[in-house]
A and B are shown apart, each in its own frame.
Chain A
């Protein structure tokens, strides 16, 4: 039993990794623009369809899907920001509703193009098989290992972008005080657009690596998006550490509890704990800003 739980715990790391990629995008967007993107789940879904198209029509393997999805979904994000979100500046709740409209349109659009049926994407052949981890009763798949490494790499890139580049400095400045940043000559609109595109691109990458694990369908993104909203609520905004911690807690707890009881009970317990935690820490576990 302990062995099985340990196995689940290991598997949980790959779930955490995916959740981390999704939430990183969401958290960066939310931190800068105070906007929850309801179409985030559909950006994930489009990333998965990019992988499907590359593999099904062009015969390229999944590795190609990662940069392709980042670019395609990032471009869609740029268009959405430019065409819609920028027009709703300062109205966070309405932005949320408008992006829900985007979500509906994207889902219907994909359904019109690809049909409602489920699609399948293969993991790259190099990543077949797995390594044996002592104390676990199942081999740990190479693909899951790859996901974890990718997530760490993306986390590092995000960190580097935010804390080691000039652009990151202006992002953090806008995050902390938008009017002041504007006064100091930072082009906040450009920051908004690029941050939104970057966050959307991350969702696209998450979709690509989700494609071999889950079946690809127009509604596949929603539950991941909801989980990542919870990561934001739990982890707070303003620090990457909060996002990492939120993703780790939610991903691991859901995986292990889903094994011990079942999927839904796991989710219910995690949700209850989150609600109780924000009762004590209303601004999330790690945050720089008051809510």
Chain B
């Protein structure tokens, strides 16, 4: 069967995809745009699930790659928009460049005018960044909380860089007004198609032998290494792939949203992504759909009336999920279902640790 799904599960997945594809016909433009953005978050969550849920690398900086991809695309669209509507800002360069005293687009930024160059370049650049970062940290056995705080710092610094170099990035205001693809049904379908492709890719990776090795790294890094696997290489590879997935998601997000700012590259989105995966259920992939759509959906419904309470609610919910439901929503449901099936068939339920978590390797 496709990507290791049983017939029943495949049917379920196809129904969900069909429902999502038909959504523009009954959801209306506003909800369709919203769902499109949520799907971009789903892709970010999928990439986080690959590295955290399956490999056990907690990265608190993956918004760097999401935001990086987004900035490449937004910049490209903005340059194009400014060049084709010279009357709008006076001199055919983006408004924020003009405000900061630039008279023309810097030479090194020129190639970005073509979206066909900018979008792939963004994805490759983020892949390269992740590769270099992974090479430095994973090769030296930097893992666990160390990895988390270093990636967090990375994210903080990228956000500050974006704010600082406002002549080239739009600074605090971000890049706005570049003509987006919102309310475009075809573009929504493109996003959906990419999401489905990423889901398939993530399934493919995690159900393969390669995926088994990733999970063994998550369970016990030291032991996997003793078995002869070059753990660092596996981690670098999956980290790079996840970064490129995030970059694609970010690019689509920028094109759909029509505005991009430093928040999309900073620690807030990075950690929010981790929350989505934790709430949905890490290591399940399906949880990466449930988490962002549930949380972002609830946020857009509730935070308009209860903006004050929303932050408090998210924080408390997160604490409760981490402490009492470490498998997340989907993970808990799956475990219960498996247990029930085993009991119904008269078998003892398989031993499953409630928490799948890379432990600190004991001090040597």
Contacts and interface: CB of A to CB of B under 8 A. Distances in A.
A109 interface: yes
B140 A282 contact: yes
Contacts of A93: 58, 144-145, 148, 357-358
Nearest to B160: A264
Nearest to B359: A90
A229 B160 contact: no
Contacts of A222: 267
A268 B323 contact: no
Quick one: which of B146, B271, B308, B357 has the most chain A CB within 10 A?
B146
Contacts of A90: 359
Interface string A94-105: 101110111111
Contacts of B323: 84, 87-88, 98
A90 B138 CA distance: 22
Contacts of B136: 275-276, 279
B319 A291 contact: no
B153 A98 contact: no
Interface string B149-172: 110111011001101100000000
B315 A101 contact: yes
B305 interface: no
B145 A96 contact: yes
A30 B148 CA distance: 14
B230 interface: no
A34 B145 contact: yes
Contact of A229 (B152, B161, B326): B152
A75 B312 CA distance: 21
B315 A233 contact: no
A253 B51 CA distance: 33
A108 B149 contact: no
A104 B308 CA distance: 12
B177 interface: no
Nearest to A98: B322
How many A residues are at the interface, by size bracket?
A: 35 or more
B150 A98 contact: no
Contacts of B342: none
Contacts of A98: 318-319, 322-323
Nearest to B274: A97
B364 interface: yes
Contacts of B316: 101, 105
A29 B287 CA distance: 33
Contacts of B308: 108, 111-112
Interface in A70-126: 84, 87-88, 90-94, 96-98, 100-105, 107-109, 111-112
Contacts of A108: 308, 311-312, 315
Q: How large is the interface on B (under 10, 10 to 19, 20 to 34, 35 or more residues)?
A: 35 or more
Consensus secondary structure, chain A interface? helix
A102 B157 contact: no
B319 A92 contact: no
A88 B311 contact: no
Interface string A257-285: 00000111101100100111011001000
A160 B146 CA distance: 28
B145 to A, nearest CB: 5
B364 A94 contact: no
A109 B312 contact: yes
A264 B161 CA distance: 6
Contact of A34 (B164, B322, B360): B360
A230 interface: yes
A282 B147 CA distance: 11
B355 A291 contact: no
A215 interface: no
Contacts of A109: 312
Contact of A282 (B141, B152, B319): B141
B142 A278 contact: yes
B164 A264 contact: yes
Contact of B153 (A97, A100, A107, A229): A229
B45 interface: no
A256 interface: no
B140 to A, nearest CB: 4
Contacts of B148: 36, 93, 96
Given A84-B319, A97-B322, A92 B157 contact: no
A98 B137 CA distance: 24
A290 B316 CA distance: 35
B343 interface: no
A233 B141 contact: no
B102 interface: no
A170 to B, nearest CB: 19
Contacts of A101: 315-319, 322
B312 A105 contact: yes
A104 B150 contact: no
Contacts of B364: 290
Given A105-B312, A108-B315, A275-B150, 14 more contacts: A30-B145, A91-B326, A93-B144, A96-B58, A96-B148, A102-B319, A222-B267, A232-B149, A233-B150, A265-B164, A268-B157, A275-B137, A278-B137, A290-B363
Interface of A: 30, 34-36, 84, 87-88, 90-94, 96-98, 100-105, 107-109, 111-112, 222-223, 226, 229-230, 232-233, 262-265, 267-268, 271, 274-276, 278-279, 282, 289-291
**Which A-B residue pairs are the 3 nearest by beta carbons?**
A104-B315, A101-B318, A101-B319
6 contacts: A107-B311, A108-B315, A230-B149, A267-B157, A271-B154, A271-B157
